[in-house]
Amino acid sequence: MLFPFFKKKTFFTDAEKQRVVEAIRNAEHRTSGEIRVYVESRNTYMDPMDRAAEIFYNLKMDKTDERNAVLLYIAVKDKQLALFGDEGIYKATGAEYWNSSVKSMLKKVTADDIIAGMVHCVTSIGETLSDKFPYNKMDDKNQLPDEIVFGK
């Protein structure tokens, strides 16, 4: 490696990453909805919800057929979290869901075991998506990658 001081940050072990990816896959097997997780070290200049929206659109998550993608955003060192859902899921669940249930989910992520919190959050989102956008084996396809996206 030419510049070892530019080493890419590792937030989680391979096993921890796999645990989150499996939660995403399990959740998506019950819904036509899509879930992505984005993790970065810091977010010092934006509101976490604005940052989540920026990432959501950069990842082209608004291009799903039913507009039912949800992004879980985490800035680890700044302890910032946000859930950003596309217009399809937002309309299907209503503002009350995003104001109360989402806050409850995000509280689980701030616990000592961030991976368990992420898995809980992904599982809860999956349950809501499966209720509002059930899986249809005839025409369902995985429209977005399942792996965790790591930022700066």
What token pair was written down for 81? Answer: 């979290």
What token pair was written down for 16? Answer: 């921890």
* pLDDT tens digit sequence for 3-53: 555 555 678 899 999 999 999 999 999 999 999 999 999 998 999 999 999
Q: Does domain 15-150 have CATH number 3.10.310.50?
A: yes
* pLDDT tens digit sequence for 58-98: 999 999 999 999 999 999 888 888 999 999 999 999 888 88
CA 112, CA 114: separation in Å to the nearest integer? 6
Are 75 and 45 within 8 A, CB to CB? no
Print burial letters for 26-44: b (CB count within 10 Å at least 16), e (below 16). Answer: ebbeebbbbbbbbbbeebe
